[in-house]
Amino acid sequence: MSKKKAAKPVSKKAAKPAAKKAVKAAGSSSKSLLVENRVFKPSADFVKKARISSMAQYQKMHAESLKNPDKFFGREAKELSWSRPFKKVLDWKCPNAKWFVGGQLNVSVNCLDRHLDGPRKTKAAIIWEGEPGEKRVITYQQLHRDVCRFANVLKRHKVKKGDRVVIYMPMVPEAAVAMLACTRIGAMHSVVFGGFSAESIKDRVTDCGATMVITADGGYRRGAVVALKKNVDDALKGGDTPVKSVIVLRRTGQDVHIEEGRDYWWHRELEYVDAKCPAVAMDSEAPLFILYTSGSTGKPKGILHTTGGYLLHAYMTSKYVFDLRDDDVYWCTADIGWVTGHSYMVYGPLAMGATSLMYEGAPNWPENDRFWRIIEEYGVTVFYTAPTAIRAFMKWGDEWLKKHDLSSLRLLGTVGEPINPEAWMWYHNQVGGGRCPIVDTWWQTETGGHMITPIPGAIPTKPGTATLPFFGVDAAVVDDLGKEVGKDEQGKLVIRKPWPSMLRGIWGDKDRYQKTYWSDFKGWYFAGDGARRDKDGYFWIIGRIDDVLNVAGHRLGTAEVESALVSHAAVAEAAVVGRPDELKGQGVVCFVTVKEGVKTSRDLSEELKKHVRKVIGPVATPDEIRFAAALPKTRSGKIMRRLLKQIASGETLKGDTTTLEDINVIAALAAASGED
């Protein structure tokens, strides 16, 4: 493969190692204190092949998508396969949207059947690697057959259109098969992440009224076996759930309890069915899936997505944001239990006819270079992962990357939370070799797909910003009264127009849907995130509004302080929270994980305080640095700042902790005495 020239930053200041500078608050307590001057244009080689190849083209398309959504999305939707054409693009009565009214389609047909009449028939749909090392390549033809057979298993167990099916599985191709089989017959799926507890499964089964659970005997994680079937058994104890059947995939081969009349082996059920299953034509607004996300009350919210609009948005973003091509090997590292796994491992890439790579296990098993080995072995071209993972890679050290040839990569992406500029630069230079555009995507379970994101061939990028809105997304940053704030001022991020993949409600709770998302600003969507816009109109996500600190009358985004900390050579990761302070209102408490080989000390603590003061300004100086071997994270990689706030304030820990990756992390932090 020929060497590509590295993309050159527009700004001359990019050559400086950390081109951030502190600015004064300029008379406004909500002004951002961090300024990013590095700007990167996509390379000429990337632009030449990109679907959208200039800022002017992006701006023209975005303007049309807002001014004439019927024409814009009507044209885009014709790229999908419809069994009955839609009569109207949008019917909007806030907060209820109907997209592609009167149209009928089937998701599995769009992801599978329509690719079988040409060369994609024998193309790899899914490339899979298990954590122990097994490998499988499944073509579109094979995946279609597997989906049809399992759809017939569902029908054999009396699952019908409109029924709910809970899927609790490891990262194996059969998880995608189960999802697509549900869509084929019109059943709704609710995927529960394979790391969740029995209590979490029961809550979701009960809330959505699922009649079936699809699971496996177990899965692999860091060399250990996760007992999935046992968790399902514990969740269904007592028989007070609506579940009638449990289908069990044999994955690890361990002994599991099989309850007669309720539990059935996947492979044995396939013996009773054939590979022909006609797809059910579904109304565009028919429910597709329910995906639960954490709520402030402690009770998970069942986010409901429907068929036509969701599929189009997943398809369009895969096409324009990832710029997916027939020869790409695309890898989204998210678990199938998260919305990222839904939209960008299964539905978006398969609707595009792309090859989607799936890996079962941890990135550091058996060693810290597992991801880099996979990229080299399969020739991955598009790589989509989380900032948390990127910071872990940084902590483990560059030597793991240097063992592998990553030259196949042409595009990188991030998802899950704002990425700090230092991690962005490391990702750009060390993983992308300075040549790959980075699409830093902001979106939510509720939005269904990308909302603010670079279009890689058109929009110059800056480390740490998601840049500009996707098509159809009318985003703004406003104050509490709904007035747009000034340049670099922090405010609430709202969406002022409906978009195709927007959630259609909270399962079983219409009032909560209205109150949670549409009550702060009449007619506008607001889900709790804060942001600012810079001089170029780029959006900088500052995280949850609840995470903004008010220090002596100054509003500080926790992401800014975290970015300043991570820019220090000793720091791998940081989480910043506030605690009550009689003098300042809130004090700044920083939980810091250092890089491997770095020793923590009081001197290092003082050095980090001075570093933050230098990078941002005196108002941001941390009151306390707490060194931590690890930070409490959900299984999707998000830091649970709610728990850190309680620890920093000396409170008793309360609230739901079932989403934690490792409960021992919280125990260790709570037992720690503060600064070294």
- Within a domain: 242: yes
Half-sphere exposure of 345 (CA within 13 A, CB side): 28
Are residues 295 and 260 located together in one domain of the fold? no
If asked whether residues 469 and 364 sit together in one domain, one would say yes
Q: Are residues 291 and 276 in the same domain?
A: no
CATH code of the domain in which 665 resides:
3.30.300.30
Angle among Cα 438, 349, 267 to the nearest 5 degrees reads: 130
Q: How many helices (H) and strands (E) does the chain have?
A: 21, 32
pLDDT tens, position by position, 358-380? 999 999 999 999 999 999 999 99
Same-domain pairing of 326 and 469: yes
- Is 487 contained in some domain? no
Considering the domain architecture, whether residues 148 and 266 belong to the same structural domain is answered as yes
DSSP string for residues in 155-223: HHTT--TT-EEEEE--SSHHHHHHHHHHHHHT-EEEE--TT--HHHHHHHHHHHT-SEEEEES-EEETT
Residue 265 lies inside a defined structural domain of this protein: yes
| In-domain check, residue 377 | yes
Residues 6 or more apart whose Cβ sits within 8 Å of residue 78: none
d(CA 7, CA 34): 24
CA distance 216 to 659: 20
The answer to whether residues 49 and 159 belong to one domain is no
> Residue 457 in contact with residue 47, Cβ under 8 Å?
yes
3-class SS of residue 540? strand
Same structural domain for residues 301 and 228? Answer: no
What SS3 state is found at 440? strand
Q: Which two tokens stand for residue 642?
A: 């709610």
Domain boundary among 249, 282, 315: 282
Considering the domain architecture, whether residues 168 and 245 belong to the same structural domain is answered as: yes
Q: What is the pLDDT of residue 668?
A: 74
pLDDT the model gives residue 654? 62
Domain assignment present for 12: no
Same domain, 243 and 307: no
Residues 303 and 403 in one domain: yes
Which residues does 263 contact at the CB level (< 8 Å), separation at least 6? 245, 246, 248, 257
Task: Give me the domain span that covers residue 228.
Answer: 138-282
Ordered mean pLDDT values, 10 residues apiece, the chain (676 residues): 45 37 34 75 95 98 98 98 98 97 98 97 98 98 98 98 98 98 98 87 94 97 93 93 97 96 98 97 98 70 97 98 97 94 98 98 95 98 94 92 98 92 95 97 97 98 97 97 94 97 96 94 93 95 77 72 90 90 83 93 95 83 91 74 84 61 68 49
CATH of the domain at 423: 3.40.50.12780
Q: State pLDDT tens for residues 206-244.
A: 999 999 999 999 999 989 999 999 999 999 998 889 999
Q: What is the number of domains present in the chain?
A: 3
Instruction: For residues 105 and 448, give the distance between their C-alpha atoms in angstroms, rounded to a whole number.
Output: 18
In which element (H, E) is residue 571 found?
Answer: strand 571-581
- In this structure, the answer to whether residues 402 and 440 fall within a common structural domain is yes
**What are the tokens at 354?**
């792309």
CATH number at residue 276: 3.40.50.980
Measured CA to CA, the distance from residue 322 to residue 320 in angstroms comes to 6
Q: Find residue 414's DSSP bridge partners.
A: 385, 440
